Amino acid sequence: MAAGVELPEGKNGIVMEFPIGDDESLSSPVRLPKRLRRRLLDTECKSPSSVEEIEEKLRHAQIRRQVFLQFLSKKN
């Protein structure tokens, strides 16, 4: 056998070969779902969010988190 392992008579073995190379050549190509591809290719570029908009979103997220945790505590 190629790997130097001997099997008893009457036994069959399997030989497997794995190519050695960079990870990109071994992985399958990335396929994006249509909705993400459409979103990435959208020609309309939105302006980046301002600091105030981000802080407002974070405040709303914190409020939602508190409401959810209160719901969980009442549930038990």
Residue range 42-61, pLDDT digits in tens:
766 667 778 999 999 999 99
- Sorting pLDDT into bands at 50, 70 and 90, what band is 1? very low
HSE (side-chain half, CA atoms, 13 Å) at 68 = 6
- Sorting pLDDT into bands at 50, 70 and 90, what band is 23? low
Is 3 a residue whose pLDDT tops 60?
A: no
Q: Which two tokens stand for residue 11?
A: 């036994």
CB of 7 closer than 8 Å to CB of 13 = yes
Q: Which two tokens stand for residue 51?
A: 């600091």
Is 40 a residue whose pLDDT tops 50?
A: yes
Structure-token match 């070969």, residue found: 17
